[in-house]
Each structure stands twice: as structure tokens, then as C-alpha cells.
Amino acid sequence: MPEGERTPLASGAMAMNAPAGTTVYAPGEPCNAFILVISGGVRVYQLDADGNEIVLYRLGPGSICILTTLALLASDAYSAFAITETPVQAMALPAATFNDLMARSAQFRSFVFGAQAARMADLMAVIQNVAFGSIESRLAARLLTLAGGGSELSITHQQLAAEIGSAREVVSRQLKAFERRGWVSLGRGRVELRNAAPLRAAAGR
């Protein structure tokens, strides 16, 4: 960015530090800053009418939040929850600085809209999976993703239900079906992947 555009960015940015479990924002709260994650992870989710959680996406280092950007551009309130899953370091730009840079910096606009497009693709994938994917394929895919090449997850059935936008009872039934087939082994707050090949097949990978 040109010097004249870097100056308000550097002078307006404020350091943020939050421990794990901190609520970053909630529905109806005003959006006062543009946040860029430096380290750590944030889970963004919504609740349905029955109080069931569905994870929309996660923010990691270098990530921006699509809901924050939309709220700032529309001068609107937040429409979901965001909570830190680990200790998080971030930088926050006040809304006035964000709007000023969006108006006069092509580089800043390109960064924001490019990151926004990538995050929108993630959100559309969630919508498509919930709308059209079977429970078996969605759960298998999520188990593989969360395992990240490992074989054991510390996660509850309720948390898995939130990950795929389903009810805990439905996820529990499907996990038990996986266990009967020898694909996983279940324990209290734990899922062990015992046979990844059929899980990958179920997930369409």
C-alpha cells in the first residue's frame, strides 16, 4: 500500500488478545471494528429455533470474518455468534478507519473483497452440505477433516452435531452405525477413527 494509505492503517489498528472461550460477538450486537486474526482460532456459529448450533466457518491466522465485513458495509448488527476456541491475537480497525480505507485504497478493497469471496465459498459449501448432503457423508467428511490425518478426536456428539448442522440424536445414531461397521470406536467425549478408507468413500473423497 502507498505510504499515505499505510499510515491510517497502522495508526488506527488496535491489538486484541482474548483467552479461549471468549465471546467475540453475538447476534444483535453492533459491529464497531474490522478484525484480522493473527494467531489462534475463532468459531462462528448460529443457533436454530430449538437451540441447536451449526458451525458456519472458522477463522484462523490471516482470516477475516464475512459477517463482520457485511455488518460494517451495511452499518448493521451481527447476525451470529463468534467464540474463541484457543487464545487469540488479533488486530482491530475501528469502523471509521475501515470505511475510509475502503473508500480510497484499491489495495485494501482488493484484500477485503478477495478474502470475502473465499469465505463466502466456505459458507456456500456449508449450506450445500446441510441442504443436500446425507448425514452419513457429512459426518464422515467432518470426522476426517477434524482428525487432520490423525486417528483420535476429543469431541462430543453434541459438538459433532454442531459441526454438521444436525441434531445430537441423529449424529449419535450415525456414529453407532459407523462403530458397528468397524469404521470408528466410540468413548466418552472421544471418537477414534479405526478405518479411514470407508469413511473417505462415504465422504466422496
**Tens-place pLDDT, residues 100-129:** 999 989 999 998 998 888 878 777 777 777
Share of the chain above pLDDT 70, in %: 99
- Residue 131: pLDDT band (50, 70, 90) is low
φ, ψ at 82 (rounded to 5°): -135, 130
The model carries a pTM of 0.69
**On the CB side of 66, how many CA atoms lie within 13 Å of its CA?**
18
Specify the pLDDT at position 5: 81
- The answer to whether 86 and 22 are in contact (CB under 8 A) is no
Task: Give the mean pLDDT of 11-19.
Answer: 91
